[in-house]
Structure 1
Amino acid sequence: MEENQTPENRLDVSSIELISALKKKNWKSYFKEFFMLFLAISLGFFVENQRETYVENKSAKVLAQSMLADLEQDREALQEAIRFAQEKDQTMEDFLDMLHAPRATWDTMAIYQGITKVFTTFPFAPTDGTYSQMKSSGTLRYFDQELVNQMNAYDNQLKKTVFREEIVEKAEWELVPFAATILNFEVTGELRFDRPVTKTMYIKIPDQNTLEIFINKIVTVRTMMGRSLQEYKVQLEIGEDLIEEIKKKYRL
């Protein structure tokens, strides 16, 4: 049958065979190029991920150092705030004992010193710049979830601590106008700033009802101060645990 093929037919068959061979060759070449491109892209992603992981780990350590410095400042401030609150609580207890005693035994100077102590404050001012920055910038994701949970717990407790301080301050301010009708606040100002007392000291408590109101307002301040002291201690405990965890994870 091949003998009956014309030269044109034989040429067509040869062309088809050549095209078919070229297609097979091109398919293999395309597959090879595609595979090399896939490898290059995959390697690029891998290298980029490794680079990002390295940058994140390095940034996490820097942020951990900054967070640790903030927490250590908080620890010192909390320890001082606890000490002050405990001393103030004792002073207020002594002050209330004196007010419950017969008026003939009252020491006017001691009463002025006591009320001055009631109005003396030492609020805890947290150093939370690093955590706030990480939260707003999204860099908290650089840390593992367990550590983030501890950071969040510290921040949540911080809100409670600050809230309790605000309640104490409110109770003190509610006491101020009433106390000003009983005592000479010019004297309390001199005592607060360790100046010599040059003003007249007087105590204007006309009846038992006025005295009881005065005592109740002081008790309110003391009660709120006690709750604030509890929050200080919880804050300090959570902070200590967080400090140890950061030191352990980042070998600081």
Structure 2
Amino acid sequence: MEENQEIAESGKDISNIEMISSLKKKNWKSYFKEFFMLFLAISLGFFVENQREAYVENKSAKVLAQSMLEDLEQDTTALHSAIRFNKEKEFEISSLMKILNSPQSTWDTLAIYQKMTATFATFPFSPTDGTYTQVKSSGTLRFFEQSLVNQMNAYDNQLRKTLFRDELIEKAEWELVPLGAEILNFEVTGELRFNKSITREMYLKIPDKRTLDIFINKIAVVRTMMGRSIQEYEAQLLLGEELIKAIKDNYKL
């Protein structure tokens, strides 16, 4: 009797163990399934979010690219005008130096005044760089491909050199002003600058050769700076045209 009872209890124990084992297996499968579904949901969420961000970035990049393209096209137009103006000014300065280096008896006073007026005339290049400045400061430069970013940075670096050369020309011209004011009647150059009839006396007060040499030398400095500035403008223009092409090709604009 006791033996039968022990066998029965033993059978129950085995049955309970098998049931617990079965439940554990079911629970493990359930946990694994839940974990997998959670992992899948998180991964899908990340994928959707990344796709959404990529879409927004691409959309924003295209809008910014269009704005930058407009800035660059304005720059190239301005650079063409600045190069043309500076080359004409450089020619006038060279002509002035040729006159001043010839015998004083052959000088054409009106021509000297006209060419000095041209020497002091200015046509500075003012870049339209609002979009690039905004993109760089806001961190949205990362929206663009690295090759395009490299071109943008190269254009900006050249721009700094170009503007620096403009500053050097302005400095050289200001250093010429005091001596020029002693030699010439600036009221006449003012009339010539605004295409007015000459009403003031055109005189040339050059007391000695030393003063003339200093005058010519200061004019030569302006011409030298003009030549370097033209080179920087041409380099700026080339980079600008290449960047315009790259933006159009990348964004089908």
The equivalent of 2:55 in structure 1 is: 54
Secondary structure in 1 aligned to 2:225? Answer: helix
How many Å apart are 1:13 and its aligned residue? 5.0
**Structure 1 residue 99 and structure 2 residue 100: aligned?**
yes
Count residues with an aligned counterpart: 252
Paired with 1:214 and 1:238, the residues of 2 have a C-alpha distance of: 37
Paired with 1:193 and 1:13, the residues of 2 have a C-alpha distance of: 114
Paired with 2:205 and 2:198, the residues of 1 have a C-alpha distance of: 19
Deviates more, 1:190-199 or 1:226-235: 190-199
Deviations 1:106-130 (A, max 9, x none): 2222111111110101011111111
The equivalent of 2:80 in structure 1 is: 79
Deviations 1:84-108 (A, max 9, x none): 0111111111111111122222222
The equivalent of 1:187 in structure 2 is: 188
Superposition map of 1:147-166 within 5 A: 147-166=148-167
Paired with 1:169 and 1:215, the residues of 2 have a C-alpha distance of: 17
Secondary structure in 2 aligned to 1:181? Answer: helix
Paired with 2:172 and 2:185, the residues of 1 have a C-alpha distance of: 20
> What TM-score, normalized to structure 2?
0.94
How many Å apart are 1:14 and its aligned residue? 4.5
How many Å apart are 1:11 and its aligned residue? 5.4
Paired with 2:82 and 2:33, the residues of 1 have a C-alpha distance of: 71
Letter in 1 for 2:64: L
Letter in 2 for 1:239: G
How many Å apart are 1:163 and its aligned residue? 0.7
How many Å apart are 1:29 and its aligned residue? 0.7
Deviates more, 1:230-239 or 1:196-205: 196-205
Secondary structure in 2 aligned to 1:104? Answer: helix
Letter in 2 for 1:116: T
Secondary structure in 2 aligned to 1:33? Answer: helix
Deviates more, 1:37-46 or 1:193-202: 193-202
Deviates more, 1:112-121 or 1:181-190: 181-190
The equivalent of 1:118 in structure 2 is: 119
Secondary structure in 2 aligned to 1:5? Answer: helix
How many Å apart are 1:131 and its aligned residue? 0.9
Paired with 1:2 and 1:32, the residues of 2 have a C-alpha distance of: 45
Deviates more, 1:186-195 or 1:125-134: 186-195
Paired with 1:14 and 1:241, the residues of 2 have a C-alpha distance of: 82
Paired with 1:13 and 1:198, the residues of 2 have a C-alpha distance of: 126
Paired with 1:88 and 1:121, the residues of 2 have a C-alpha distance of: 9
How many Å apart are 1:70 and its aligned residue? 0.8
Paired with 2:80 and 2:3, the residues of 1 have a C-alpha distance of: 106
Paired with 1:62 and 1:71, the residues of 2 have a C-alpha distance of: 14
Letter in 1 for 2:251: Y
Paired with 1:80 and 1:230, the residues of 2 have a C-alpha distance of: 14
Shift in CA distance, 241/2, structure 1 to aligned 2, threshold 3 Å: farther
Letter in 2 for 1:50: Q
Shift in CA distance, 212/31, structure 1 to aligned 2, threshold 3 Å: same
Deviations 1:122-163 (A, max 9, x none): 011111111111111111111111111111111111111111
Paired with 1:119 and 1:150, the residues of 2 have a C-alpha distance of: 35
Letter in 2 for 1:33: E
Deviates more, 1:65-74 or 1:105-114: 105-114
Paired with 1:14 and 1:177, the residues of 2 have a C-alpha distance of: 113
* Cα RMSD, aligned residues only: 1.8
The equivalent of 2:25 in structure 1 is: 24
The equivalent of 1:140 in structure 2 is: 141
The equivalent of 1:239 in structure 2 is: 240
How many Å apart are 1:12 and its aligned residue? 5.3
Identity of aligned residues (%): 69
Q: Give ranges in structure 2 of 5+ residues lacking alignment.
A: none
Deviates more, 1:208-217 or 1:96-105: 96-105
Letter in 1 for 2:130: G
